[in-house]
Structure 1
């Protein structure tokens, strides 16, 4: 499992074996079962997660009890309620396992310490953060400029494996449609 994190980091920055041992010492490894909740809306966010295996969903529950899928996170992705994580405030979203999931977790304290003690990790985290920000902007633009069918086709093109791993009701929520229109889009 540790090799997956090393390979992921080394796609962005090189690490010596000693540097990697230092990096991984700042993380903890956890196993979760399907439906386990890693972050509960309204509670403090302790970790940012790197997904080694499995699949997560980041969900916003509105005041009417409706669940909105903000994102999915599969292997090689990072996920958290980043606003709450970085500001150390209560989560506005929940993070839940769609499948049995293995993750590396890092606290904000360890994230900051690692960035200071090994400056090239700050570059790594910045690149990952920028990539996430860009993806979020594309998602917003997609909602502003594309119809449901176009969003469906783009998601299918970008992440075809999601369609085998995620129930249609969750895909529909992510795309901003009900399950019935999603069935029409996929036929």
Structure 2
């Protein structure tokens, strides 16, 4: 399936777009390819774009002072990723975004996104819906980290994103869950 069609299917699950509106929006997008391990955003960068994943997998994360990685998000096909705090507030990136696997993405600048939101009501609605869903998912994850034990967080992740375990190495899933690789191995073997 081509990039335009993948984007269309993602958007039209939420809103209706005419072909002309989709063409207008798609014309603002830039198709890019990245290799496994390659950065889209590094901490300290100026952030001007957000990324729609066509294939592959991205991770958004930060490193603490001891260089321990905390993963905030995995972005699989049809997901969006960026450092949104930096993108919206015009400040330097606080997180990194890189490729877990080779990835094809569409990217759009914040300026083009805003222009399209003003020009096409359906795109504005789509972004509002996406932002609200993203906020709700972040809140759910934060509450889970604060209230659920490791086993429950692992089980919820398995149910919510079963394909994640085929795309992402276990040490990265352990980082996402906030546990050691050994703890994740015990959970994995106990669930089999």
TM-score range, shorter chain: over 0.9
Q: In the alignment, which residue of structure 1 is the partner of 2:29?
A: 27
RMSD of aligned Cα (Å): 0.8
Given the alignment, which residue of 133, 136, 144 partners 2:135? 133
Question: How far apart, in 2, do the equivalents of 1:20 and 1:39 lie?
Answer: 27
Q: Secondary structure of 2:36's partner?
A: coil
Question: How far apart, in 2, do the equivalents of 1:53 and 1:47 lie?
Answer: 18
Q: How many residues align?
A: 187
Q: In the alignment, which residue of structure 2 is the partner of 1:37?
A: 39
Report the TM-score when normalising by structure 1. Answer: 0.98
Q: In the alignment, which residue of structure 1 is the partner of 2:126?
A: 124
TM alignment of 1:58-77, pairs within 5 A: 58-77=60-79
Given the alignment, which residue of 95, 100, 103 partners 1:101? 103
- Structure 1 runs (4+) deviating above 3 angstroms are none
Query: Which runs of 5 or more structure 1 residues have no equivalent in the other structure?
Result: none
CA deviation map 1:9-48 (0-9, x unaligned): 1111111111111111111111111111000011111211
Given the alignment, which residue of 181, 184, 187 partners 1:185? 187
Given the alignment, which residue of 161, 167, 180 partners 2:169? 167
CA deviation map 1:142-176 (0-9, x unaligned): 01110001100000011111111111110100001
Q: In the alignment, which residue of structure 2 is the partner of 1:11?
A: 13
Q: In the alignment, which residue of structure 2 is the partner of 1:52?
A: 54
Given the alignment, which residue of 93, 102, 114 partners 1:91? 93
Report how far residue 76 of structure 1 moved. 0.9
CA deviation map 1:99-144 (0-9, x unaligned): 1111110101101111111122111100001111111011001011
Question: How far apart, in 1, do the equivalents of 2:110 and 2:21 lie?
Answer: 19
